[in-house]
Amino acid sequence: MDTIFTHKTVLLNATVNALVARDFNAKEEWVHLPVPSAKVDGVFVDGTFGRGGHSRYLLSHLSESAKLFVFDKDPLAIQEAQRLQQQDQRVHIIHDGFSTMQEALKEHGIEKVQGILLDLGISSPQIDDASRGFSFMKEGPLDMRMDTTRGITAQEWLETADINEIKEVIKNYGEERFAFQIAKAIENRRKSSPLRTTLELAELVSATVRTREKGQHPATRTFQAIRIYLNEELEELSRTLASILNLLAPEGRMAIISFHSLEDRLVKQFIAKAVNPAAAISRHLPLRESEMPQALLKSFGKIVATKQEVEENPRSRSAVLRVAERTEVEQ
- Check whether 7 is labelled as a binding-site residue: no
> What distance, in Å, lies between the first and last C-alpha atoms of the chain?
53
- Check whether 52 is labelled as a binding-site residue: yes
- Check whether 216 is labelled as a binding-site residue: no
* SS3 state at 179: helix
CB 254: neighbour CB atoms within 10 A? 29
Phi, psi of 149 (to 5 degrees): -95, -5
Task: Report d(CA 39, CA 35) in Å as an integer.
Answer: 9
* SS3 state at 223: helix
- Check whether 74 is labelled as a binding-site residue: no
- Check whether 72 is labelled as a binding-site residue: yes
Beta carbons of 80 and 104 less than 8 angstroms apart = no
Across the strands, what pairs with 43? 67
- Check whether 126 is labelled as a binding-site residue: yes
Let me know if 141 is exposed, middle or buried by CB neighbors in 10 A (0-12, 13-18, 19+).
middle
Amino acid identity at 331: Q
Residue whose C-alpha is closest to residue 303's, from 320, 317, 315: 320
- Check whether 143 is labelled as a binding-site residue: no
Distance of CA 306 to the CA centre of its chain: 20
CB within 8 Å of 265: residues ≥ 6 apart: none
Beta carbons of 115 and 323 less than 8 angstroms apart = no
Instruction: State the binding site for S-adenosyl-L-methionine.
Output: 52-54, 72, 98, 119, 126
What residue numbers does the annotated binding site cover? 52-54, 72, 98, 119, 126
